[in-house]
């Protein structure tokens, strides 16, 4: 699928099928089969945008942006196939590899997902007004952990079906390394 760019965009009512390429050895699927995706390039942000009523076999991804203020993700049916990477079916991140950014006014409502779950991610101090509500996990989850809502942006999480909730805040690579060392 083509990437989404800019502010105040609406992506509504699409049916899509995405298939991953296979490496030369024919054993490893390459993670090049994105679904509907807004990917960070040149300090991009998301503002007052909408992803609604889409159906597909690859994730919805707002990936590593420099901030989000106003996003509605509602009524989508996202069922990634088994060759998908470990990405959640719905992936909303207001961060880059080393820096978190504000994630505000994101509503992830009434979606049906399979595969892994839902992720919302942003600066712990600057994220607010986010809600994850009325979503449903269906089918057998990929991996041992089951369906998870990873809430790393202070979202209010309620009335979701079939998920566990992980409220661990976003951490930089250095913070993650220190946390692993402390567990030893």
Q: For 183, which DSSP code?
A: H
Q: Which pLDDT value is given to residue 72?
A: 98
What domain range is 162 assigned to?
10-183
What's the chain's average pLDDT?
Answer: 86
Whole-number Å distance between alpha carbons of 24 and 144:
29
- Given a cut of 80, whether residue 78 has pLDDT beyond it is yes
Whole-number Å distance between alpha carbons of 167 and 145:
15
Domain count of the fold of the chain = 1
In a domain, 2, yes or no: no
In a domain, 138, yes or no: yes
Q: What are the tokens at 98?
A: 């080393």
- Given a cut of 60, whether residue 34 has pLDDT beyond it is yes
Q: What are the tokens at 85?
A: 């990477």
pTM (predicted TM-score) = 0.88
Q: Return the bridge partners of 112, or none.
A: 77, 136
Q: Cα dist. 155→115, 128, 160 in Å?
A: 21, 7, 13
Count of beta carbons in the 10 Å neighbourhood of residue 134: 15
In a domain, 3, yes or no: no
Question: Please, which pLDDT band fits residue 169 given cuts at 50, 70 and 90?
Answer: confident
């Amino acid at each position: 699928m083509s990437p989404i760019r800019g502010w105040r965009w609406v992506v509504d009512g699409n049916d899509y099928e995405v298939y991953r390429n296979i490496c030369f050895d024919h054993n490893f699927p390459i993670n090049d089969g994105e679904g509907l995706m807004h990917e960070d390039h040149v300090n991009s942000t998301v503002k007052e945008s909408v992803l609604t009523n889409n159906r597909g076999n690859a994730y919805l991804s707002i990936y590593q942006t420099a901030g989000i203020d106003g996003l509605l993700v509602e009524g989508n049916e996202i069922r990634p196939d088994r060759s998908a990477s470990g990405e959640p079916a719905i992936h909303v991140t207001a961060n880059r590899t080393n820096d978190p950014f504000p994630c505000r006014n994101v509503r992830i409502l009434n979606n049906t997902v399979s595969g892994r779950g839902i992720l919302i991610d942003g600066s712990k101090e600057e994220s607010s007004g986010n809600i994850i509500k009325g979503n449903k996990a269906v089918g057998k989850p990929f991996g041992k952990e089951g369906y998870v809502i990873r809430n790393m942006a202070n979202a209010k999480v309620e009335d979701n079906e079939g998920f566990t909730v992980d409220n661990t805040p976003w951490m930089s690579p250095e913070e993650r390394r220190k946390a692993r060392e402390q567990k030893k």
